[in-house]
Amino acid sequence: MAKATIIGTTSWGKTLGWLLSKNGMAVKVWARTDAEAEELNKRRNPNYLAFTSSVSEAAAGASLLIWAVPSESFRQNVMKVKNYLDKSSLLISATKGLELDTGKRMSEILTEEVSPSLQDKVCVLSGPNLSREIAQGLPAFSVVAASRREVAEKVRKLLDLPNFNVLVSTDVIGVELGGALKNIIALGAGMIDGLELGNNAKAAFIALSWAEIISLSVALGAKKSTLWGVAGLGDLIATCSSPLSRNHRVGCNLAKGRSLKEIMASTREVAEGINTTAAAHNLARKMGSKTPIIDFIYRILFESLPPAEAFARIAKLKP
């Protein structure tokens, strides 16, 4: 039986493990501690999904490895695993974010850290993938992207299921940026809902913001068509409209007067849009790109600009 490894016990990581096990793979999930692995093994399901705190046990012999960890710890987790990788392993990032200090995408980090012989095996997985819905067996689509289509096709065959439809792309940059940058808009959409400004205002904000994201993404090397597809617009719609979206919830709470520090302290879940906003803001400055909406979201998060004041000013922007 082929073996797959999930790095990270996030809800998305466990859901991906469940999907792979349904496709007949033996799945090991790497947990942070012995206690966490023991607790998760007590309630594991299905039978092929097992948890371990041993990195060698988790990664050794795996034909497929998926990193489903927060972007802030992504590089650290790659470094812990890279010495155990097989030369034939397929490597997948399922993390939707940018590295805060460098602005790099997760596939760039993987390519930097793993051996040259594995660099063309690096893939990314992204799309409108609310893990709770997928775990309930509801239908979903996702996109796997790699520089070589045949590599992405191999991953597609391992993950594709009747209710989890996997598409293939060679636009790694577009798929990653669509998944990462849409979280900035989800924060703003949540703020609009928290301020009770209505769906007309939210729809206009999403449209104007998405045009800004597309412009920035294309400048960074993405294909515009990818941003209008499942891994771009599709992911945007899900994240801006669903109460399951962490970024939407953070935005809503900010608009209701809670501080970012208080919100982050009250949950173990990571809202990737927070660090992504800072990384995108810095990237745009370096490139000389005009991103007024990203700048306003940045000021709300990190410079204490009141959301109501920010959206009053955003409403006056002319595209």
As annotated, the active-site residues are 182
**How distant, in Å, are the alpha carbons of 74, 93, 102, 230, 260 from that of 69?**
6, 9, 18, 22, 21
**Cβ-contact 262, 285 below 8 angstroms:** no
Q: Residue 70, preceding bond cis, omega within 30 degrees?
A: no
**Cβ-contact 194, 142 below 8 angstroms:** no
Q: Tell me the C-alpha distance between 176 and 115, whole Å.
A: 22
**Cβ-contact 235, 248 below 8 angstroms:** no
Please write down the HEC assignment for all residues of 92-122: EECCCCECCCCCCEHHHHHHHHCCHHHHHHE
The two structure tokens encoding residue 27? 């799945």
Residue with tokens 């710890």: 73
Q: Is the dihedral of CA 146, 151, 155, 161 positive or negative?
A: positive
Query: Long-range contacts: 76-84, Cβ < 8 Å, 24+?
Result: 77/7, 77/8, 78/109, 78/110, 78/113, 78/114, 79/113, 80/55, 81/7, 81/30, 81/55, 82/113, 82/114, 82/115, 84/55, 84/56, 84/59, 84/60
